[in-house]
Amino acid sequence: MAAAPILFLQQIRLRLGSTELLEGAELSLLPGEKVALVGRNGSGKSTLLKIAAGEIEPDGGRRFLQPGATIRYLPQEPDLSGYPNVLAYVEAGMQAGDDHYRATYLLNALGLTGNEEPHRLSGGEARRAALARVLAPEPDIILLDEPTNHLDLPAIEWLENELSSIRSALVIISHDRRFLADLTRSTVWLDRGVTRRLDKGFGGFEEWRDQVLEEEETARHKLDRQIVREEHWLTYGVTARRKRNVRRLDGLFALRQERRDLKRGVGEVKISVAEGETSGKMVMEAKDISKAFGERVIVKDFTTRVIRGDRLGIIGANGAGKTTLIKLLTGELPPDSGTVRLGANLELASLDQRRASLSADMTLKEAVTGGGSDTLIINGQPKHFMGYLKDFLFGPEQAGTAVSKLSGGERGRLVLARVLSLPSNVLVLDEPTNDLDLETLDLLQEMLADYPGTVIVVSHDRDFLDRVATSVVVSDGGGQWTEYPGGYSDMVSQRGFGVTAPVGGAKPKGGRQAALPQTTSHPAAKQKLSFRQKHALETLPKEIRKLAAEIAKLNATLADGSLYARDPQKFTETGKALEKAQAALGKAEDEWLELEALREEIEG
C-alpha cells in the first residue's frame, strides 16, 4: 500500500493586490521524499513554501499536515534578533527530547562556535546559524528557501552531504543546479499560478520543461490560425452580415482569452552587454605575487597569465581572499612582492557581491542612467532606458520604484542591467548567480559565452563554473592558489577531490572569517566512484549502442533520395532527430570515457 502524504496543499489560491499569484497550486510530500520547487523569480515559490510552513494563510484551498508531524522552515532572510548568542537561537528551535549536542555539532561543522552575537554576524554566518536551527531537531519535514545563498563551496558541499543522509522529507528552492540535481527525486514546477509535477529529480526537469513550453507554443500557433479564420468569418460571412451570430462571437472572445492565458507570464530576459574597444591580446599577467595583512598571508608566490577571451573562475572558502586576489590582478591593490602587468586599452566593468553600487533609495531609472539622460548607448546604438530595463523583465510602471522595494531576484537582475550597460572588454563578476532564477542564469551563461572580451568570475555555483570557465584558480589555504584548466568538475578530476568541507573552528580576532582548513591532498587511488558514477558506467554502453542504432536508422531514412520531394516535413523532422541523436551520442561517449579514465586512475 502506498504511503500517505505527510503534507499536502490542494487548490491553493492567493491574490497580492491586483495580481493573482497562486491560482490552484498544489504540493504533496511523502515521508522522506526530496522535492525541488522551481519557477521564475516572482512566480510565488517562496510564498507557496511559507503556506506549506503555516507562516501565511492562503485566500483559498486546503493545507493538510499529518498529526504529530514536525516541520521546520528556512526563510531567505533569517531573523536572529532577541537571542544572546547563536547557540541560544539554535536551541530555541528544539523541543524536549531533542539531542542538544546536535546543535553544537552542527554549528561547529558550519564553522561557528555558538558564542557569536547575532548582530555581529555576516549574511553567510547568519545563514549557517539558521541552517543549524532547522537541521538540529531532525524534523519530519524541512522546507528550504535558497539554502546555498551566501554559503561558500565547502559549506555547500557539506550541506549537500548532510541533507542526502537525513531521513527528513525536503522541499528545496534553489538556483544551484548541481545542488538540486544531486539531492532531489521529484520536481514541482510553479508556473503562472499553477503547479506541474515531474516524478524525477531536477536533473530531468529542464528537458521536460522545454517540451511543455514547445507544446504550448504549438497550441498558440493553432489558436492564432483559428482566430484569423473566425475574424475572417465575422467580417465576410453571410451570417455575420445578417445577424452577427452571438454564440460564435463569444467563441472568438473565448479563443482570444485562451491565447492571452497561454501567453501570460512567459516573459523572457534578453541579456545584452555593451562592448568596449578591443583590448590587447595580453590582458593581465602576474608573476610571483604575494600579499599579506599582518601575519595573515592571502596570496603567496602566485603566477598566472590572462589572455583576451579567457574566462577565469576563482574558487575558495569565505575569507580565503578571492576578492583580494581579483584586486591584485586588476591593479586595484599593489602586491607586497612580485609584479602585475596590465594589457593595453582595458575597460573594466565590475559586479560586487554585496550589490553596493545600488543604494536603497535609488530608483530603477537612476540605477541604469546614473541620473543622467534617458538614453543609453548599447553596442553603439541608442536605446531608451525603459526599453533596456524591459529586456530584464521590468515594466514601465517600475521606473520610479526604489531599490529597497525590489525582491532579491529583481535586485539581481537590476545590478546585472547596470553593469552590462557599461562599455567594457573585461567583466569582473563577484557571485553573479545570487538570487537569479534558472532561466536568467541560462541567458547570462549564453551572453558570457558570446562576450568577445575577458571574464573573471567568483562563484560558488559548480554548474555555472562548469558552463562558463575556461580555467579555475582554487585556494589551497595558507595563501597558496593553484590554476587548473577547465571548469569545476575538471578541477575535481585533476586533483582528485573538491573544495574541502568546513571543520569547526572559532572566528579569529578582527571579526573576519578565517579560511577554512584544508585537508591533506589525497591521491586519486584512495577515492571511490559514487553510486551515480558506477551506475553510469554500467548503463552508458547500452545507451551508446541504442543511440548508434537510432542514428543508423535515421541515416537510412535520409538516404532515400525521393523523401524530400515526397514528404518534406518528414525529411526536416528526421534531420533534426539525427542531429539530436548525434549530439546525445557524443555527450554519452565523452561521459563514459571520462568515467572510465577516472575508474582506471582510482584502481591504479
CATH number at residue 328: 3.40.50.300
Q: Do 146 and 289 share a domain, yes or no?
A: no
Q: Poorest-confidence range of 2-11, 65-74, 157-166?
A: 2-11
Strand partners, 340: 286
Q: Show the domain range for 246.
A: 211-263
Q: Name the more confident of 328 and 411.
A: 328
Question: Would you give the distance in Å from CA 568 to the centre of its chain?
Answer: 40
Whole-angstrom CA distances from 380 to 352, 374, 421, 422 are 26, 16, 11, 11
The number of residues in the chain equals 604
| Residue 522 pLDDT | 35
Q: Do 432 and 484 share a domain, yes or no?
A: yes
Backbone angles phi, psi at 23, to 5 degrees: -130, 55
Rounded to whole angstroms, the Cα distance separating 366 from 126 reads 31
Instruction: Let me know if residue 194 belongs to a domain.
Output: yes
Q: Do 59 and 185 share a domain, yes or no?
A: yes
Q: Do 199 and 164 share a domain, yes or no?
A: yes
Q: Do 288 and 246 share a domain, yes or no?
A: no
> Most confidently modeled of 66-75, 267-276, 372-381, 414-423?
66-75
Instruction: Let me know if residue 463 belongs to a domain.
Output: yes
Backbone angles phi, psi at 406, to 5 degrees: -85, 150
Number of domains in the chain: 4
Say if CB 259 and CB 224 are below 8 A apart: yes
Q: Do 159 and 57 share a domain, yes or no?
A: yes
Instruction: Let me know if residue 12 belongs to a domain.
Output: yes
Q: Do 321 and 448 share a domain, yes or no?
A: yes
Q: Do 286 and 249 share a domain, yes or no?
A: no
Rounded to whole angstroms, the Cα distance separating 558 from 556 reads 5
Strand partners, 337: 290
Instruction: Let me know if residue 371 belongs to a domain.
Output: no
Strand 7-16 with 60-65, pairing: antiparallel
pTM of structure: 0.69
Give the mean pLDDT of 587-592: 78
Percent residues over pLDDT 70 in the chain: 83
Q: Which long-range contacts (CB under 8 A, 24 or more apart) does 578-585 make?
A: 578/551, 578/554, 581/547, 581/550, 581/551, 581/554, 582/551, 584/547, 585/544, 585/547, 585/548, 585/551
Secondary structure of residue 198 in the 3-state scheme: strand
Residue among 287, 355, 296, 364 at smallest CA distance from 324: 296
Give the mean pLDDT of 510-538: 49
Residue among 489, 354, 436, 410 at smallest CA distance from 146: 436
Say if CB 63 and CB 51 are below 8 A apart: yes
Q: What is the DSSP string of 378-402?
A: ETTEEEEHHHHHHTTT--GGGTT-B
Give the mean pLDDT of 533-562: 80
Instruction: Let me know if residue 370 belongs to a domain.
Output: no
Q: Do 166 and 19 share a domain, yes or no?
A: yes
| Residue 539 pLDDT | 82
- The residues, ordered by sequence, that sit 6+ positions from 123 with a Cβ below 8 Å of its Cβ are 150
**What pLDDT band is residue 401 in, cutting at 50, 70 and 90?**
confident
Instruction: Let me know if residue 393 belongs to a domain.
Output: no
Instruction: Let me know if residue 379 belongs to a domain.
Output: no
Rounded to whole angstroms, the Cα distance separating 497 from 516 reads 16
**% helix, strand, coil for the chain, step of 5:** 40, 20, 35
CATH code of 550's domain = 1.10.287.380
Q: Do 29 and 139 share a domain, yes or no?
A: yes
Q: Do 26 and 150 share a domain, yes or no?
A: yes
pLDDT digits (tens, 9 = 90+) for 91-111: 999 988 888 899 999 999 998
* Mean predicted lDDT score pLDDT of the chain: 82
Instruction: Let me know if residue 560 belongs to a domain.
Output: yes
Q: Do 512 and 546 share a domain, yes or no?
A: no
Rounded to whole angstroms, the Cα distance separating 408 from 149 reads 11
pLDDT digits (tens, 9 = 90+) for 178-229: 999 999 999 999 998 999 999 999 999 988 988 888 888 787 777 777 666 6
Rounded to whole angstroms, the Cα distance separating 360 from 366 reads 11
